[in-house]
Amino acid sequence: MLIGFDIGNTHIVTGIYTKNAKQLTSFRIATNANLTEDQYFSYLKTLSDFKHIDLKKINSVVISSVVPNLTNIFKFLSIKYFDTKPLVINSKIKLPFTFSNKIESPSAMGADRIVDISEAMFKYPDKNEIIIIDFGTATTFEIVKNNTYLGGCILPGVNMSIDALFSKTSKLPKVRFEKPETVLGRNTIEHINTGIYYGAIGQIKELITQYKAHLDSPYIISTGGVGKIISHEIDEIDEYIETLAVDGLYSLYQYNKKI
Ligand SMILES: Nc1ncnc2c1ncn2[C@@H]1O[C@H](COP(=O)(O)OP(=O)(O)O)[C@@H](O)[C@H]1O
Ligand SMILES: CC(C)(COP(=O)(O)O)[C@@H](O)C(=O)NCCC(=O)O
Ligand SMILES: [K+]
């Protein structure tokens, strides 16, 4: 059995798979760089017990992390509790795509972005042009053409914008990300809601327009926590794949280790 950890700046999404790619379970725990490998293991144990999954059967581990401190913690966890050295995702492992020679430092690229791109390649080998939008703590765009990564961008995640507006002002409340009843806000909360909601949609639509100018007819995939809500509002997005990253962990492990 394989366990995969997608360690983001807000959440750690964990997937447990059998050898023949069946996902036994997946769960989401908060990212906390202060926790130890023993504390994280206690989460895993509780959650897998609930699903009657025997963690002792895990003999393969894969880690995608954009939180360096936790990369080390989960390496310790892998050795201490699963007695195995994990596959740690980075630009140097075997990948189903190449980086354009214009990309200055592939090694600086977030592992989550590498996993997103890889899984899109595995899922859609027949599509020549793919745009991937990951609505994470930050929102990221990846542009791939003929299996070559051309580039992308990074912008503040939706909830980061909400948190920033709340934390940097004295009188503005924190709102949830949701579609307002009207764009003519009738109170402060509706004003914030409308600004955040349509501001986020506008940003994404504009960036899609910019990237489409460099492509013919890209297939546009979205993923990430907030992606579930915002993707419905953006017609240009062809498919929302909630499990892109966690599926990509399994695929990349298999592609590198042949379990
Ligand atoms: N199921 C969900 N529904 C709505 N928002 C979510 C959901 N899961 C996560 N989020 C929010 O989406 C944002 C990004 O989540 P996630 O993609 O897990 O981030 P990261 O990978 O950066 O840790 C966070 O602000 C999180 O609170
Ligand atoms: C852009 C990110 C913060 C997104 O991470 P997330 O929103 O999933 O927490 C992460 O991919 C990252 O730290 N990247 C390193 C810089 C780069 O990708 O160029
Ligand atoms: K992410």
247 is catalytic: no
Q: Tens digit of pLDDT for each residue in 70-109?
A: 999 999 999 999 999 999 999 999 999 999 999 999 999 9
Nearest atom within ligand 1 for CA of residue 224: 17
What is the Cα–Cα distance from 5 to 16, expressed in whole angstroms?
9
Q: Tens digit of pLDDT for each residue in 113-150?
A: 999 999 999 999 999 999 999 999 999 999 999 999 99
Q: Are the C-beta atoms of residues 138 and 154 closer than 8 Å to each other?
A: yes
Alpha helices in 155-230 (DSSP H): 158-167, 188-212, 227-230
The yes-or-no verdict on residue 257 having pLDDT over 90 is: no
What is the Cα–Cα distance from 12 to 73, expressed in whole angstroms?
13
What is the Cα–Cα distance from 256 to 43, expressed in whole angstroms?
28
Q: Are the C-beta atoms of residues 161 and 174 closer than 8 Å to each other?
A: no
Nearest atom within ligand 2 for CA of residue 140: 1
Tokens, residue 31: 């990212």
Q: What is the pTM of this model?
A: 0.95
From ligand 3's centre to the CA of 8, what distance in Å?
Answer: 5
Q: Which of 9, 10, 67, 132 maximizes ligand 2 atoms within 8 Å of its Cβ, making it the mutation to test the pocket?
A: 9
From ligand 1's centre to the CA of 13, what distance in Å?
Answer: 10
Query: What is the structure's pLDDT at 225?
Result: 85
Average pLDDT on 160-179 reads 95
Q: Tens digit of pLDDT for each residue in 60-69?
A: 999 999 999 9
Tell me the three state secondary structure of residue 151: strand
